[in-house]
Amino acid sequence: MTTRKPVPYKDLRGYLKLLEDKGMLVRISSEVNLDGELGAIAYRDLVRDGPALWFDNIKDYPGMPLVANIMYREDQLALALNGDADWANLRDIIHEGMQDRTPSNIVETGPVKEVKIMGEDVDLDMLPTPRWHEEDGGRYIGTTAGFVTKDPLNGNLNMGQYRSMIIDKNTTTVEIMGDWEVGAKPPQASNYGGVGDRNGVVHILENEEKGLPTPCAIVLGMDPLLTLSCGTAVPHDENGHGEYEAAGSWAGRPVDLVKCETNDLMVPANAEIVLEGEIVPYERVNDGPHGESTGFYNQHPSTFMVKIKAITHRKNPISFGLICGRIEDYPRPLMRSNTLLDVLIAKSGLTNIKEVFFPDAGRSGFLIIRAKITSPEQPKQIIDAAYEHMRYRWVIVVDEDCNVRDWNDVLWRIVSSVVPDRDIYRGREYEYRTPHPGSIEFVPPTYGMAFDATFEFKVYEHPRPGVAQPSMKMMEHVASRWKELGLS
């Protein structure tokens, strides 16, 4: 097990103090309402690459703050991960944590147990929950939350990041991978292009086959590393370690877990709020419309129903949420790119692939694959492997020296190296599940294109000179000195 220097915080509050001390967080003391206004402020701040936001004065919720935009910028992530504000460094920390987990620590109690609300006293309206987008069908309490369930087959805990809309004082939705009719068979794999791990929807449907409810917990206001882990495809290792243990590895110290009050699930002891409940078998409810990361609103009329049985929280709890959209307070490219790289190499055997980058570009959108090309047939082999093992419509293969996060570099390679009738291929056509009757769901085109934007082994009319840019090795060296040079 690799030992990292522990991050200098133990919970969301400690991380927020770090942000504030570094001048990376702004407190908003003017009154803000929850019906679209708070979400619009958060969205404008995101597109302007602004600071983290602490809303201190939410209309009708005195003394109940909410924070947003606390973990989308590179400098914020560097603070959260105790690393350098450099993509390659952060990518390596994330990758190592997924490979080498830190076992969690079970404790008797924790700050999240300071206040306990049980049974008939449960009222979700006590928490400041935004209608993030103006056309949302309800208030979404689950945007950055961790949704915890237990695998009925092996007892492993899973924590996913699924959306949850409040229906009434003790009822929410949970939308996991779309609509699921009563009697639906559990899926065999994640729709992330991930590793097919047994996630929450598998747990729910397998319990439902036996007529059983699924105990669950919705964890609100976690530290940023737990939020990162629950929002990506973290496979369980041979010891059954999953999201909690990946977050512990990134943090350089174990995650403290405490048992729920009404079930035997384990939840982060230092979280701000935990909603304990169960998914009711054979019941489905409408979720949405809700603005999503595809850039469109969508609606799912057949999602699971959650009955909340208890709320435990810290004194003066801090809520944390995000407005979903093409840009949001979650580093999707960083988290998903690591998983996609491991999966593609494992399934294809193409060890010359160096990086798989997932840009923020819509559902089933782009993959940019950086590889060391050693033979003329390799770019097409990589394209074929991407279409076989991933569910993405547009694929660009580039040489090892390309900065896949720089669209100018990627597009320069396309216009400089691609001959359309030689280097462009029609992508694989995917079948999409027909949207559920009554749903609002944009279905994008069923296929895209692939570009061989590599230079190696291609024949040109005139000799090709070398690429005039610093090497990847030199760029990583310079990045490692960035703080020393007084740059940010």
pLDDT, one tens digit per residue, over 446-464 is 889 999 999 988 887 777 7
pTM: 0.85
- pLDDT, residue 333, reads 73
Element (H, E) at 291: strand 273-291
Q: 366, 386 in Cβ contact below 8 A? A: no
As a whole number of angstroms, the distance between CA 269 and CA 107 comes to 8
Q: Which residues pair with 276 in a beta bridge?
A: 217, 310
Residue 474's pLDDT band, with cuts at 50, 70 and 90, is confident
Complete domains list, the chain, with CATH? 12-320 (2.30.110.10), 349-480 (3.40.1670.10)
As a whole number of angstroms, the distance between CA 38 and CA 162 comes to 21
Q: 365, 359 in Cβ contact below 8 A? A: yes
> Strands, DSSP E only, in 114-240?
115-118, 140-142, 146-150, 157-160, 164-168, 171-174, 214-220
Residues 118-164: pLDDT tens digits?
999 999 999 999 999 998 999 999 999 999 999 999 999 999 999 99
As a whole number of angstroms, the distance between CA 55 and CA 318 comes to 10
What is the DSSP code (8-state) at residue 111? Answer: G
Q: Which residues pair with 36 in a beta bridge?
A: none
Q: Which residues pair with 256 in a beta bridge?
A: 105
Dihedral angle computed from the Cα positions of residues 154, 118, 176 and 197, in that order, rounded to the nearest 10 degrees: -20
Q: Which of 73, 91, 27, 82 is nearest to 53 (CA)?
A: 27
As a whole number of angstroms, the distance between CA 61 and CA 319 comes to 11
List of residues 6+ apart from 74 with CB closer than 8 A: 85, 86, 87, 90
**Position 57, amino acid:** N
Report the mean per-residue pLDDT for the chain: 89
Number of neighbouring beta carbons within 10 Å of residue 286: 18
Q: How far apart are the first and last CA of the chain?
A: 32
- pLDDT, residue 195, reads 43
